[in-house]
């Protein structure tokens, strides 16, 4: 079992973490333009974190994680962003791992969790479909039991980095007669299984972050079912809660604000009282977001399940990220249209890339309009 980092004073943990990361994160990966680097591009960094035992900050220590408290996790997030560390492929760490830790069998935990930590298994998430995005319960991809196997047919879309993953956890419909939320199950699928096809989708930056995934009589062992048949909606909501707290982390806004600071220093914008006022407001909003994030993270660390109120975190974080990048693009001006990276005395600033990247998070993971509906119905009790 790994060291109990929570026993250290916060600033001592910050010093240790910062020192090790600064020494071990490859310089060529710092502050890279690409928001979602592929596993092969960050493999050495992923493996270094794995060997150190620092890959899964909030997993319990008995499963190979750091078991960080909410306060320590915030330090982890802050230093990661401050040092410009690249994002690693994190569906296994942030979604599949928590799903199995909370709902998997002991055999599933023993089989899959260690392989996430070693990088042997890189996961993606099979949720959205062409006609089931924010209204996820209307999904149609089916799984029919034949002997000791499920046979899957259907299509998923907007599956992040599916072309780089070798495993996918999939929401499937196992009972077409039941009410939408009651006929859904969760299956773990090896992406080398015959009948499974992946087609990348290019985005505005000409990068293929998202994919379509097609299932044509894909056979999956029954032992790959997570939880009970037709009870997958409860598990799906649990995973979405983890995804929303992940999307609600201050990391993106913090990173973008750091880029704004660099450009503002280069161009003397801090001498403008109006800009300074807007910057200070954004900084305070990020502090507020960090406090809210810490409260929800504490629920997970205590073994609890997140409630519907976690939707507020996703709304605040994604819209704050947009406001920071709006300010960044305004300061960059016309030059951002022609140069991917704006040179400053302390390194390049990727203003346009960040501005474009900030548009999508308010849509995926359940659009912010849907999140507001969830809050209205489930938290405020307003009629739907």
Distance CA 293, CA 69 (A): 12
Give the active site residue among 129, 243, 285, 327. Answer: 243
Residues 6 or more apart in contact with residue 66 via CB below 8 angstroms: 2, 5, 53, 54, 56, 57, 58, 59, 72, 76
Q: Give the 3-state secondary structure of 262-278.
A: HHHHHHCHHHCHHHHHH
Q: Position of tokens 């980095």?
A: 161
Q: What is the largest CA-CA distance in the chain?
A: 72
Phi, psi of 190 (to 5 degrees): -70, 125
Residues 6 or more apart in contact with residue 318 via CB below 8 angstroms: 247, 248, 358, 361, 362, 368
Q: Hey, what are 121's tokens? A: 């298994």
Phi, psi of 121 (to 5 degrees): -110, 120
Reply yes or no on whether 106 is catalytic.
Answer: no
Q: Position of tokens 């499937």?
A: 172
Active site residues: 243
């Amino acid at each position: 079992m790994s060291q109990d980092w929570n026993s250290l004073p916060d600033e001592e943990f910050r010093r240790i973490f910062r020192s090790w990361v600064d020494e071990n994160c490859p310089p060529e990966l710092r502050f890279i333009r690409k928001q979602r680097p592929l596993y092969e591009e960050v493999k050495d960094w992923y493996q270094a974190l794995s060997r150190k035992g620092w890959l899964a900050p909030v997993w319990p220590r008995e499963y190979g994680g750091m078991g960080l408290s909410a306060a320590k996790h915030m330090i982890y997030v802050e230093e990661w962003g401050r040092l410009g560390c690249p994002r690693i492929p994190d569906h296994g760490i942030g979604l599949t791992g928590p799903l199995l830790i909370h709902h998997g069998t002991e055999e599933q935990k023993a089989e899959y969790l260690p392989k996430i930590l070693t990088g042997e298994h890189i996961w993606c998430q099979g949720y959205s479909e062409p006609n089931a995005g924010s209204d996820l319960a209307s999904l149609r991809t089916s799984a029919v039991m034949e002997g000791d196997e499920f046979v899957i047919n259907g299509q998923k879309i907007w599956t992040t980095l599916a072309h780089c993953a070798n495993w996918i956890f999939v929401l499937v419909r196992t009972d077409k007669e039941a009410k939408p939320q009651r006929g859904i199950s969760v299956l773990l699928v090896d992406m080398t299984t015959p009948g499974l096809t992946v087609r990348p989708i290019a985005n505005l930056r000409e990068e293929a972050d998202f994919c379509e995934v097609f299932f044509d009589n894909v056979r999956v062992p029954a032992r790959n079912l997570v939880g009970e048949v037709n009870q997958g909606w409860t598990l799906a909501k649990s995973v979405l809660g983890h995804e929303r707290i992940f999307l609600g982390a201050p990391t993106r806004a913090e990173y973008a604000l750091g880029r704004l600071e660099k450009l503002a220093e280069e161009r003397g914008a801090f001498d403008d009282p109006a800009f300074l006022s807007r910057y200070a407001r954004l900084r305070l909003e990020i502090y507020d977001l960090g406090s809210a994030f810490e409260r929800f993270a504490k629920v997970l660390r205590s073994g609890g399940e997140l409630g519907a109120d976690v939707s507020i975190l996703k709304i605040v974080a994604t819209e704050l990220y947009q406001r920071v990048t709006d300010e960044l693009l305004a300061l960059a001006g016309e030059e951002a249209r022609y140069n991917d990276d704006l040179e400053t005395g302390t390194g390049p600033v990727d203003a346009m890339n960040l501005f474009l990247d900030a548009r999508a998070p308010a849509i995926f993971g359940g659009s912010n309009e849907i999140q507001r509906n969830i809050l209205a119905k489930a938290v405020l009790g307003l009629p739907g």
